Amino acid sequence: MGILDKIGDVSKGVSDKTKSMSEVSNLKRKILYEEERIVEIFTDIGKKYYKNPNEDPANLKLLCDDIDTRRRRIKKMRFELNGIRGYKVCPKCDAEVNERFQFCGRCGARLPEVEDDDFMSLEANDYYTESSNQFFNADSNKTL
Ligand SMILES: [Zn+2]
């Protein structure tokens, strides 16, 4: 019983940290899930076209839209993830900047706010590619 009391005391002190850590792993898991789904959808598009090159493009477009939706979702979750960790990522140069800053210290670009209306829009250079580290580095950040 004494042990339980002690655990209670300790967990009070770290509860905030524990909470944000579980949020971080939650977000990472969701991001990973969306990334996997995107790869599957890309495969679906390829298969559909392979089986029937005359497929109504509207059907493929639906899948492409699905990919865009998931990419926006990933983008938002990454933003939340960085917010929990206390930094923003510059949309222009990918530099990690303290979240209190409004402009990037490296390139001077204005940093997005979560409330920005255009936040959910996709940048022209934000396309998913096999070689893009951005989409597969959810677990590569060792600063936690
Ligand atoms: Zn920058």
Q: Band the pLDDT of 66: cuts 50, 70, 90.
A: very high
CA of 109 to the centre of ligand 1 (A): 5
Task: Check if the beta carbon of residue 135 is closer than 8 Å to that of residue 35.
Answer: yes
pLDDT, tens only, 105-121: 999 998 877 555 455 55
CA of 102 to the centre of ligand 1 (A): 11
CA of 66 to the centre of ligand 1 (A): 29
| pTM assigned to the model | 0.60
Residue with tokens 């492409």: 64
CA of 125 to the centre of ligand 1 (A): 14
pLDDT, tens only, 29-38: 999 999 999 9
* Closest to 91 (Cα-Cα) out of 70, 71, 113, 115: 113
- Coil, helix or strand for 130? coil
Q: Calculate mean pLDDT across residues 44-71.
A: 92
Kindly list the domain boundaries of the chain, sorted by start residue. 20-85, 90-117
Tokens encoding 45: 């598009």
Percent of the chain's residues with pLDDT above 90: 35
